[in-house]
């Protein structure tokens, strides 16, 4: 492992959603200080305490994954989609008119956003150990969701919602005895900015 970063959940300040309807905590984004209108990629954990409209992000693709709570129904451009199972990613355009109805109480949602034509993302949930290998233009963000997740080389244990970010130059192995979100971001305009 050459330079991965451990990102602790307790270090993330809560900020308002773009539309003011809830709170979010940014886990990582393409560049420090990138605003909501100019990021290339952004990963956050959102507290969804009540139903209502989602913020609109022109030119952005989104992947949302319920990581705590009973789920929600999203209506995307008039089409309803039930997102009820924890750890099941759901993709939709960030510029679609999207509304949310909670199924049974608040949820915490992992939100991955990429600027269309500049980056793409893939989200999966790992339930066993795996390795990260360096790939040009690709970064990997791992977020501990449940159980025990640790970076083997440094013995850094990750608490719930702690994360580790691997740039396109980093390698490492993780032990997972529980569940971890693995977000792979591929940029189409050179190396990812971290």
pLDDT > 70: what percent of the chain?
A: 92
Interval 127-182: pLDDT, tens = 999 999 989 999 999 999 999 999 987 767 899 999 999 998 988 999 999 999 99
Cβ atoms 86, 28 nearer than 8 A: no
Look at domain 119-187 and name its CATH class: mainly beta
Q: Range(s) for CATH 2.60.120.10 in the chain? A: 12-115, 119-187
Report whether 128 contacts 153 (CB < 8 A): no
pLDDT score of 194 more than 80: no
Give the closest residue to 95 by CA, choosing from 45, 52, 61.
Answer: 61
Domain 12-115: CATH superfamily, name plus number = Jelly Rolls (2.60.120.10)
Residues sharing a CB contact under 8 Å with residue 35, sequence separation 6 or more, in sequence order: none
């Amino acid at each position: 492992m050459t330079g991965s970063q451990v990102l602790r959940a307790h270090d993330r300040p809560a900020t308002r959603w773009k539309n003011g309807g809830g709170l979010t905590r940014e886990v990582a984004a393409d560049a420090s200080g990138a605003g909501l209108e100019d990021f290339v990629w952004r990963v956050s954990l959102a507290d969804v305490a009540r139903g209502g409209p989602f913020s609109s992000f022109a030119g952005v693709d989104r992947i949302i994954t319920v990581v705590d709570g009973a789920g929600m129904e999203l209506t995307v451009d008039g089409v309803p989609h039930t997102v009820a199972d924890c750890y099941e990613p759901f993709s939709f355009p960030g510029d679609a008119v999207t509304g949310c109805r909670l199924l049974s109480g608040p949820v915490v949602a992992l939100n991955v956003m990429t600027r269309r034509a500049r980056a793409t993302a893939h989200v999966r949930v790992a339930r066993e150990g795996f390795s990260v290998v360096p790939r040009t233009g690709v970064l990997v963000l791992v977020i501990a969701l449940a159980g025990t997740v640790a970076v083997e080389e440094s013995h850094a244990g990750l608490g719930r919602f702690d994360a580790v970010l691997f740039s396109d130059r980093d390698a490492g192995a993780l032990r997972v005895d529980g569940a971890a979100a693995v977000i792979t971001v591929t940029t189409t305009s050179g190396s990812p900015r971290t």
